[in-house]
Structure 1
Amino acid sequence: MAHTDNQPHGFGAMLRDLRTAIGEMLGGGKLEPEQAATVEVVFGLLGYLAGADSIVTTHEAEFTNHLMDELNLSTRARDLAHEAFARGRKREIELNVEINRFLSIHPKGSTEARHLHDSLYRLAAADGRMMPREKIVLEQITGALGFASK
């Protein structure tokens, strides 16, 4: 598989689409409530998935930091993202609550839901392996977002 900047081929295009869908609105200093909720949910779910196998690998951490960079998150949005990732990793969030929170802003099957779904799969693949617990978490989130399992 070809890699660019240690990321899977096509990753840049996916990030550009994600930035267009939800990222551009996060570049300013003040976040609207929907923007803050989107950042919290996306990075909380990424943290939850990264911690699913009890170990957050350097590849997973790099993926998450790269995503924050690519989305041009403001300092406030970056702080929210880090806090949400840590809460997710520590299992201080409830998957269904967070998914419903996301879906209240971005409907099932929407572009934003697709980008979240794709980001979660890319995170799971970032370290070159998918552990059984990661697969279970991905299947739960995939179904809740309105997509078929890969």
Structure 2
Amino acid sequence: MIALATLIIHYSFSLVPLIYTKRNMIKTFKKLLTNWITHFLVAWIAITAFILIPYLYHVHIWGNYIYNTDGSPVTGLQYVSNINRDLLIVALFIFLAEVIRQFVFKKSHFIFFIAACLLAGMISSVGLFSLHPHLL
């Protein structure tokens, strides 16, 4: 761990300083948002498909097993809409990954990128554990 910290400090001071003009900063920010939205939409479609398809299959084979308070069965759209809080967390973690990719991967040394990825993984793990402590 100490060796990794030493490498990070050594390589972070040897980096070329990044000078952003206003135009470059706006261009970088637009690229970051575009990549984040694209990445999140792909993740949202995949998560929704992996949640909706098994539910619809189960309802088709064995019938409805979840009912609303008025006695009507829960539709697939209602079932999928219950994951909004978790998708917000996924969006935040994807944004963190895109920030690391945009600002660290392209402009820094590879060791610094690995350290940033490990730090992002630790932040994500702590965030998930604090939201769902019963899953560990």
Smaller-chain TM-score bracket: under 0.3
Greater CA radius of gyration, 1 or 2? 2
TM-score, normalization by structure 2: 0.27
